[in-house]
Structure 1
């Protein structure tokens, strides 16, 4: 029986799949799983980007033969089915699913079109349902884990005073979708519990992409909004990922863990 912290956090002999695993926060998630001993499949619509990231991570972490690329479009049911069929065929099992993939346009409530709204809901919410449903038979076999990456804006509203214009604003579709993911996480935690599958979500706070960080005025506003008075760095989600994907959280399910510098406390 595992009881030491080293054993509880170990992911040796585990197989994980991270959608969007080559992205800004996705890379940190992938690193966390690799560092704990898992073999990790990273998925993206951009297979070349994934393959290049695999090579980078192999060299950086000395994990040759433990990180793999796969093509998947999480907005397309056929692509999702094909990706999970390939995972089953090539790896035989799946222990951990991390739903992290995201893409979308910046929009204010006034500028957003119905097409953009539908895309964002499909990308951020329907994709989680789609991947979890397709992965369920594999996860039933391993009594696996699902980790859904949500957002602080899934449970609090953006402060309009720090979002001026459209370039750096937060679209209404994003928070609505992420709120849906938090509720879907709770639903799956309940209904997947007979299979001993745990489902949790992680809500990052302000982790703006490097291109956004070039706007010093916006970064100052964003930082001042937070109790820790700064933005987050990608490595700062790795501890929560390691916890929620390992047996260190074996008595946790249906939870939303916030890694946000205290954003929602005031």
Structure 2
């Protein structure tokens, strides 16, 4: 019998988390490390990745390894170099978590062609390139891909709760995340013969601490879902653990929403 403990175990697995030192990315990194995976945290901010890796190794008393790699998702050469280093140093990859994001706040009126192109390149095209590069390694390991998307990949922002540009959600972000959700479904089909599973996790309102300082906006944002509040970073850990482990061995092509029930209304 497969126990829950064995199903959720990631002991000796190798997991790459792009943006794994960020607000939600840190929780993803901690989750996979807690389940026993040796983790790789990659982003443009190499020093932040190194610091987070050291913090995680100390937290788990060096029972797992955490490695930092500098990765510029806007550079095809950087992506290739990252996965080559993983192949050379770890013998391949078991779990790929596409989590990184960066971009500007924009309304439809303010967004420029350059901002749109940047968001699509960062949030959609880089996911394609990482997966395309990683698949040979994942095929060998019968691995798992988890794409971090967003509620705004399948529902529209409510214009009534956004005032100006500072807190609004750019149209390019939702468009890119919707593309990732569809790409996930496509890959779930076409990578199934290789026993590679591909799923999405769509967080709802998880605003950064700086944004949370605007209490009026937080009340409006939280009231949009049945639980009547914003999410806290640790609340994605259960879904991450499920989707990255054999506890979800019969799940692929799914978009799991961790959003306080946002989309049910």
On whether the aligned pair clears a TM of 0.5, the verdict is yes
User: In the alignment, what sits opposite 1:131?
Assistant: 130
Q: Relative to structure 2, which stretch is displaced further, 51-60 or 6-15?
A: 51-60
User: In the alignment, what sits opposite 1:102?
Assistant: 101
Q: Relative to structure 2, which stretch is displaced further, 49-58 or 162-171?
A: 49-58
Q: Deviations along 1:102-148, whole A, 9 cap, x unmatched?
A: 00000000000000000000100001100000001000100000000
| Gap regions ≥5 residues in structure 2 | none
Secondary structure of 1:40's counterpart equals: strand
User: In the alignment, what sits opposite 1:154?
Assistant: 153
Instruction: Give the Cα–Cα distance (whole angstroms) in 1 for the partners of residues 197 and 8 of structure 2.
Output: 15
Instruction: Give the Cα–Cα distance (whole angstroms) in 2 for the partners of residues 195 and 49 of structure 1.
Output: 35
1:65-84 aligned within 5 A: 66-84=65-83
Instruction: Give the Cα–Cα distance (whole angstroms) in 1 for the partners of residues 259 and 9 of structure 2.
Output: 25
CA 1:251–1:17: 2 relative to 1, 3 Å = same
Residues 36 and 64 in structure 2, CA contact (< 8 A), matched pair in contact too: no
User: In the alignment, what sits opposite 2:216?
Assistant: 217
Residues 42 and 49 in structure 2, CA contact (< 8 A), matched pair in contact too: yes
* 1:174 to partner: Cα distance: 0.3
Secondary structure of 1:16's counterpart equals: strand
| Corresponding residue pairs, total | 265
RMSD value, Cα: 0.9
Residues 37 and 64 in structure 2, CA contact (< 8 A), matched pair in contact too: no
Residues 34 and 63 in structure 1, CA contact (< 8 A), matched pair in contact too: no
Secondary structure of 2:176's counterpart equals: helix
User: In the alignment, what sits opposite 1:245?
Assistant: 244
Q: Deviations along 1:182-226, whole A, 9 cap, x unmatched?
A: 000000000000100000000000000111001111101111111
* 1:64 to partner: Cα distance: 5.3
Secondary structure of 2:97's counterpart equals: strand
TM-score of the pair, normalised by structure 2? 0.98
1:92-241 aligned within 5 A: 92-241=91-240
CA 1:241–1:65: 2 relative to 1, 3 Å = closer
Residues 10 and 37 in structure 2, CA contact (< 8 A), matched pair in contact too: yes
Secondary structure of 1:24's counterpart equals: coil
Residues 40 and 68 in structure 2, CA contact (< 8 A), matched pair in contact too: yes
| Gap regions ≥5 residues in structure 1 | none
